[in-house]
Structure formats: structure tokens, C-alpha cells
């Protein structure tokens, strides 16, 4: 650091002279254009990749949603235009109402659970105590292991007959006999939400803890002098100061939860009887199990639309964060 | 992050008060361990179950008193090739993601070209696009291009998890580099590529390692593209192998859990060995 500050002055002065035009570098506008071109080249690989793997899928999905794109298409290469038929079919089916409601419940339940527990733990870890750093970093584990591995172990923990949860609850005489967590139409969604909360807690703790670290200690000390501690200091200092971070966490959480697929497929596959089917899993089922790609992409587009609404919130929240 | 907290408490001048804080903090430590034990129970249960004798894990014991490694034998025999596939795909995705992200991050943090805002906006928007939408379109395109069931196809698709993240995290770090470093190099006559290659990249080593580690994890953990962009056994990441295990009626939980443990190993290694880099990445924003 010190070496850079000592060498800073001379180059800056020389850089200024470069900016005003070197005598033998050609006309300034042409040189500037070449400079622009060089700078653009650094962005080309990323731009191409983003266009191919995000831009193209969105456009292709939009086109497919207006086509009869099914098994036959892969043999004949023909996908006749059908207008809004796919949307009509998808929106008119009884599964859509269930899936939309499940998506709302899954998202709301997951976000509330993750956020409340995550904020509680973040506030808890703000108190410096022995091993707090180690414990906090170990807490990241559920977030880092593959979702499908978490899904596998949870599937067994929640197993009706031999699952650890039922063994535990039965030992405490809290439930009479095996609770069918994943195989009951009333409980499947609850179980899936519970597991998703578990997965989301580390993310919430990490971001919220980072936000808490940015609140200066002096504020708490001053408030303590005025007699504000505990809950009062939380509501008067922590919460207002944390609001920008809270906004980002919540909106990002919603956007990420809307598209969750892995954990539901691993635990219930959307069942039993669509009890845990969401828009994302139903879109997967239409495309990749029934090979009705047209309808699958129509449903996918509806999901994109919902995400975009929240994206607007996100952009507003993050722009406020960037400007601060 | 823990590194930062330890150094700050280490430099605290009043050692006596620090010791007092440590003593009053012990109940918190106990509570923290309790929270962590609850949160990590499923991970413990995964390891415990993987060490039970083969086949007969209907009533698993709460502790692996007589650890039995036959589950791992079965897992390695059945999933060894899939683990190898996952490793190659993940490593390939790291190389591709960093090659794409590092130059872009440099441009986004130090150039004021008109396109930069568009690229940043595209990255933010890309986070809203559900994986199933990408998979839907890629399946048909891959089918035409012959990229289904190929390692290359998976590397390309899996990098969609890593590229946006890598750009953002490397950009955050490069943004904190003083532009005098770059100007000095430019004035000495080095072109943009030279400055980038021999000044910016070496200085950004920690950010690159952090981005690389997370990119590895993202690709290693990928399930959706493995599920949708492969149709045969030829190329089969371990996440898909695991899914097929639990998709059917499971009779042999110990080898399923052994596979889950093996699939989780990179995450554990990252957390224990490379914690310094994770901290370096997550604290760059706070440092500046």
C-alpha cells in the first residue's frame, strides 16, 4: 500500500499529459475509438456468454410458448404456431391453481422462517463470545453442501417409519405413531418448507450479520447512556439501520425461492397428489416428464413474469444500496 | 470473517477487560454450540447413517459405535465414475467461468465504457431467470447441436451458476484497487492486456481463488442441468446418481448416505481449509 501511494504522484501528472494528446499518436478521436474498442474486448466473452445462456433461453422460451412443441417436434422438426393455446391450457388446468397457491405458500413460509431465524442468529452472533467466529462459519455448511445431498438426508430423517424425527417425537410421546411427513397431502408442503428454511438460514445469517457489523458501536453506546438497551435498542437502532440490507435479503430471498426445484424434486417430487407441486416443478414436469415443451415454457414464462415483478423491487433496493 | 474478529480482539489494549468479556461470554458459547448442533444435526445424521452396516439401517443407532465402511465401498463402486464426472465438470466450469469473468470484472471496475451498465444490468436480471427456463431452451438447442450427454455441454451450462457470481465478486475486489496502479502500468507503455495480465490479475489472486472455489461448488452441486441435459448413463454427475438412488424405494440407506457424504466433501473441505479465502471474498465490500 505504501509503495503505491509514494509512486502515485508522478504517474498521475504524466497520465494527464497523455490525456491531452501525445504528438505522435494520431488524431485524438481515432485513438480514443481504438481505446474504446480495446476496453470493449474485455467485456466480449462475458457478454457473449450472458447472451447465449440467459438471453437466448428467455427468447427461445418465449417463442416455444407459442408453439406446439412436443415429442413430435424432435422427430419432424416441426412446431406449429398455436397462438395463446399453451397459456390457455396451462392457466386453465386445475393443477395451476394448486401450483400457484403452493408457490405462494412455499415462498412466504420459507422467507418468513429463514428471515426470522436468520436475523435472530445474526443478532446473537453480534455479541463477541469465545468461538463465535468458528461457530458462525460452521453454520454455513447447510448452505454449501449440494441440495440433493441435503434432500437425501432429510428424506430419510422425515421418513414415516424409520426417520429420526419421528423416532425423536415418539420417544418424547409428542406424537402417537409415525407422522407421514412426506406422504401426507396435508404435511408434505409443510415439510418441504421446513427443509427449505433450514437451507436458507445460513444465507440470511451471513448477509444480515454483515449488515449488523456496519452499524457503529457508538450508536449503541449512546443509546445505552439514554437507557435504551435490549428490545428498545433493537427497534430504535438495529432495525432502522439494517433496513436497506433487510430489503435486499428479502427480495433476493423471494427471487431465489420462487425458482426452487431441486429440494422439492428430491423430497416429494411435487407429490403426493400435487400437494407440494409449485410452478417451477410443474414446468419441469410438463417439459421433461410429459415432453410438452410448449406448455412447459409457457408456465416457465409465467414464473419469469412473477420474478420480474420482484426484480423491480430488487433493483430499487440494490440501487439504493449502491448509492449509499 | 473470523480472521478479522480474532485480530481485532487481539489488538484490544485492555487485556483484562477482554478476559472478563471472555468469561461472561461462556454462556453464549454454550448457547451457540446448541444452535449449531441443531442446525448441523442433518449433516451429523448423514455421516452417522453412512457408517451403519449395509442394508440394515431401518433402525439406525444414534451413534456409529461400530463404524462400518461397507456403505462407502458400495458408493464408490456404484458412484465412483459419477464422482469423477462431477469433478471434471466442476474443474472445467472453474476455468471457463474465471476466463470469462476476470476480464469482464476488470472492465466493469476500471473502464467507463458505455456498455458496462448494460452488462451489470444483465447480470442482475440473470439472477431472476429460473433454471428451468434455461434448461427448457438449452435442451432443445443441445439436442440440435449434439451437446446432450457431453461433458462440454454440462460445463457450459453449469457455468451459468458461476459466471455472474464470479463477475460480481471479482469486480468488488478490483474496484478497491487504486487506479494509480493501472495508470502507472499504462504510462510505462504496457497495453491493457499486459496491465491486466501482469499487474491486475496477480494482485487479485485472493478474489480469483474465492470466485474459483465458489464456482467449483456451484458446478459440483448442480442438479438441474445434470437432470435435464443428460439422458443416458454415459455422462452422469454424482448429484444425479444420488437423485436416482432416492427416487426409487431405498433399501440400502448406508450407501446412499455414503454417497451424500462424498458429494458433500468439497463443501466441507472449502469451509475447513479455504476459510481464509472465503473470508477474503466476503469482507472485500466491508474493507473499502
3-class DSSP string for chain A:
CHHHHHHHHHHHHHHHHHHCCCCCCCCHHHHHHHHHHHHHHHHHHHHHHHHHHHHHHHHHHHHHCCECCCHHHHHHCCCCECCCHHHHHHHHCHHHHHHHHHHHHHHHHHHHHHHHHHHHHHHHHHCCCCCHHHHHHHCCHHHHCCHHHHHHHHHHHCCCCCCHHHHHHHHCCCCCCCCCCCCCCCCHHHHHHHHHHHHHHHHHHHHHHHHHHCCCHHHHHHHHHCCCCHHHHHHHHHHHHHHHHHHHHHHHHHHHHHCCCHHHHHHCCCCCCCCCCCHHHHHHHHHHHCCCHHHHHHHHHHHHHHHHHHHHHHHHHHHHHHHC
Interface test with B, best of A126, A127, A141 (most B CBs within 10 A): A141
- Amino acid B39: pLDDT: 95
Burial of A300 (0-12, 13-18, 19+ CB in 10 A): buried
- Cβ contacts (< 8 Å) between A127 and chain B: which residues? 25, 28
Give B157-203 pLDDT, tens digit per residue.
999 999 999 998 899 889 888 888 888 887 777 788 888 998 899 99
The pLDDT of residue B12 is above 60 = no
| CB-nearest partner of B33 from A39, A135, A318 | A135
Percent of chain B residues topping a pLDDT of 90? 48
Give B79-125 pLDDT, tens digit per residue.
999 999 999 999 999 999 999 999 999 999 888 777 778 888 888 88
Q: What is the DSSP annotation of B229-256?
A: H--SSSS--HHHHHHHHHHS--S-HHHH
Å between B215 CA and nearest CA of chain A: 12
Cell readout for A95 is 393443477
* Contact check, Cβ <8 Å, B140/A14: no
Q: Looking at domain A85-146+188-323, which of 3.40.50.1970, 1.10.3720.10, 3.40.50.2300, 3.30.1520.10 is its CATH number?
A: 1.10.3720.10
Å between A40 CA and nearest CA of chain B: 7
| CB-nearest partner of B138 from A12, A57, A314 | A57
Determine the Cα angle at A54 with ends A53 and A57, to 5°: 85
Give B17-37 pLDDT, tens digit per residue.
555 555 568 889 999 999 999
- Amino acid B3: pLDDT: 35
Answer whether B170 touches A (CB < 8 Å).
Answer: no
Å between A51 CA and nearest CA of chain B: 9
Answer whether A11 touches B (CB < 8 Å).
Answer: yes
Interface of A with B in 274-313 (CB under 8 A): 280, 283-284, 287-288, 293, 296-297, 300-301, 303-304, 307-308, 310-311
* ipTM of this complex: 0.86
| CB-nearest partner of B132 from A15, A39, A300 | A300
**Tell me, what DSSP letter sits at residue B88?**
H
| CB-nearest partner of B39 from A139, A303, A311 | A139
Domains of chain B, start order: 2-59 (no CATH), 71-287 (1.10.3720.10)
- Domain positions in chain A: 85-146+188-323
- Amino acid B52: pLDDT: 85
- Amino acid A267: pLDDT: 94
- Amino acid B187: pLDDT: 79
H helical segments located in chain B: 2-10, 15-50, 70-110, 115-126, 131-145, 151-175, 179-187, 192-195, 201-203, 205-221, 224-229, 238-247, 253-273, 275-287
The pLDDT of residue B281 is above 60 = no
Number of Cβ within 10 Å of residue A81's Cβ equals: 9
- Cβ contacts (< 8 Å) between B139 and chain A: which residues? 287-288, 293
The pLDDT of residue B57 is above 70 = no
* Listed residue (B285, B22, B193) closest to A209, CA to CA: B285
* Listed residue (B274, B92, B270, B99) closest to B170, CA to CA: B99
Q: What is the DSSP annotation of B142-183?
A: HHHHT-TT-HHHHHHHHHHHHHHHHHHHHHHHHHTS-HHHHH
CA distance B154 to B145: 13
- Cβ contacts (< 8 Å) between A252 and chain B: which residues? 127
Interface of A with B in 112-171 (CB under 8 A): 121, 124-125, 127-142, 144-157, 161-162, 164
Give B253-274 pLDDT, tens digit per residue.
888 999 999 999 998 888 887 7
The pLDDT of residue B287 is above 80 = no
The pLDDT of residue B279 is above 80 = no
- Amino acid A300: pLDDT: 95
Q: Would you write out chain A's pLDDT as a tens digit for each of its 324 residues?
A: 333 333 333 333 334 334 334 444 456 688 788 878 888 889 999 999 999 999 999 999 999 999 999 888 888 888 899 999 999 999 999 999 999 999 999 999 999 999 999 999 999 998 888 888 889 888 989 988 999 999 999 999 998 888 889 888 888 888 878 889 998 999 999 999 999 999 999 989 988 998 998 888 888 888 888 887 788 888 888 999 998 889 888 888 998 999 999 999 999 999 899 999 999 999 999 999 999 999 999 999 999 999 888 778 767 766 665 554
* Listed residue (B120, B219, B155) closest to A46, CA to CA: B120
Residue A267 near residue A191 (C-beta atoms within 8 A): yes
Residue A186: HSE in the Cβ half-sphere, 13 Å Cα cutoff: 2
Which residues sit opposite A116 in a β-bridge?
none
Answer whether B108 touches A (CB < 8 Å).
Answer: yes
Amino acid at each position: 500500500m505504501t509503495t503505491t501511494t509514494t509512486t502515485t504522484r508522478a504517474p498521475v501528472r504524466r497520465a494527464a499529459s497523455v490525456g491531452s494528446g501525445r504528438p505522435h499518436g494520431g488524431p485524438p478521436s481515432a485513438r480514443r475509438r481504438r481505446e474504446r474498442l480495446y476496453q470493449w474486448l474485455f467485456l466480449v466473452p462475458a457478454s457473449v456468454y450472458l447472451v447465449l445462456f440467459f438471453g437466448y433461453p428467455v427468447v427461445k422460451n418465449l417463442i416455444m410458448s407459442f408453439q406446439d412443441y412436443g415429442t413430435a417436434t424432435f422427430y419432424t422438426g416441426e412446431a406449429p404456431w398455436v397462438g395463446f393455446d399453451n397459456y390457455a391450457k396451462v392457466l386453465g388446468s386445475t393443477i395451476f391453481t394448486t401450483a400457484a397457491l403452493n408457490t405462494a405458500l412455499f415462498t412466504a413460509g420459507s422467507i418468513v422462517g429463514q428471515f426470522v431465524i436468520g436475523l435472530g442468529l445474526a443478532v446473537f452472533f453480534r455479541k463477541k463470545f469465545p468461538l463465535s467466529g468458528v461457530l458462525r462459519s460452521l453454520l454455513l455448511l447447510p448452505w454449501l453442501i449440494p441440495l440433493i445431498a441435503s434432500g437425501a438426508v432429510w428424506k430419510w430423517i422425515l421418513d414415516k417409519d424409520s426417520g429420526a424425527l419421528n423416532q425423536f417425537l415418539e420417544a418424547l410421546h409428542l406424537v402417537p405413531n409415525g407422522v407421514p411427513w412426506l406422504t401426507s397431502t396435508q404435511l408434505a408442503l409443510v415439510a418441504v418448507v421446513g427443509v427449505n428454511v433450514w437451507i436458507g438460514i445460513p444465507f440470511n445469517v451471513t448477509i444480515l450479520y454483515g449488515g449488523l457489523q456496519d452499524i457503529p458501536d457508538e450508536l449503541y453506546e449512546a443509546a445505552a447512556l439514554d437507557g435504551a438497551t435490549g428490545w428498545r435498542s433493537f427497534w430504535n437502532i438495529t432495525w432502522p439501520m439494517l433496513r436497506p440490507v433487510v430489503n435486499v435479503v428479502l427480495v433476493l430471498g423471494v427471487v431465489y425461492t420462487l425458482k426452487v426445484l431441486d429440494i422439492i424434486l428430491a423430497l416429494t417430487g411435487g407429490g403426493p397428489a400435487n400437494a407440494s407441486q409449485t410452478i417451477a416443478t410443474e414446468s419441469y414436469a410438463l417439459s421433461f416428464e410429459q415432453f410438452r415443451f410448449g406448455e412447459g415454457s409457457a408456465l416457465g414464462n409465467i414464473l419469469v413474469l412473477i420474478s420480474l415483478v420482484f426484480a423491480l423491487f430488487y433493483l430499487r433496493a440494490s440501487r439504493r444500496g449502491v448509492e449509499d | 470473517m473470523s480472521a478479522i474478529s480474532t485480530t481485532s480482539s487481539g489488538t484490544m489494549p485492555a487485556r483484562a477487560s477482554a478476559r472478563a468479556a471472555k468469561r461472561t461470554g461462556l454462556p453464549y458459547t454454550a448457547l451457540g454450540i446448541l444452535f449449531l448442533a441443531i442446525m448441523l444435526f442433518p449433516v451429523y445424521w448423514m455421516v452417522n447413517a453412512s457408517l451403519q452396516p449395509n442394508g440394515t439401517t431401518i433402525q439406525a443407532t444414534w451413534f456409529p459405535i461400530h463404524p462400518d465402511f461397507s456403505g462407502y465401498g458400495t458408493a464408490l463402486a456404484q458412484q465412483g465414475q459419477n464422482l469423477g464426472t462431477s469433478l471434471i465438470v466442476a474443474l472445467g466450469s472453474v476455468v471457463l467461468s474465471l476466463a470469462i469473468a476476470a476480464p469482464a470484472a476488470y472492465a466493469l471496475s476500471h473502464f467507463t465504457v458505455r456498455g458496462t451498465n448494460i452488462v451489470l444490468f444483465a447480470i442482475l436480471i440473470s439472477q431472476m431467470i429460473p433454471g428451468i427456463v434455461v434448461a427448457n431452451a438449452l435442451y432443445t438447442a443441445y439436442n440440435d447441436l449434439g451437446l446432450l450427454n457431453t461433458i462440454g455441454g454440462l460445463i457450459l451450462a453449469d457455468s451459468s451458476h458461476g459466471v455472474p457470481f464470479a463477475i460480481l465478486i471479482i469486480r468488488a475486489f478490483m474496484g478497491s484497487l487504486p487506479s494509480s496502479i493501472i495508470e502507472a502500468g499504462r504510462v510505462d507503455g504496457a497495453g491493457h492486456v499486459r496491465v491486466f495480465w501482469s499487474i491486475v490479475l496477480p494482485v487479485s489472486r485472493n478474489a480469483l481463488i474465492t470466485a474459483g472455489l465458489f464456482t467449483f461448488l456451484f458446478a459440483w452441486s448442480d442438479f438441474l442441468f445434470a437432470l435435464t441435459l443428460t439422458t443416458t448413463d454415459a455422462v452422469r454427475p454424482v448429484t444425479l446418481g444420488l437423485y436416482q438412488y432416492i427416487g426409487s424405494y431405498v433399501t440400502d440407506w448406508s450407501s446412499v448416505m455414503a454417497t451424500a457424504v462424498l458429494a458433500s466433501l468439497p463443501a466441507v473441505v472449502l469451509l475447513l481449509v479455504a476459510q481464509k479465502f472465503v473470508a477474503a471474498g466476503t469482507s472485500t465490500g466491508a474493507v473499502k
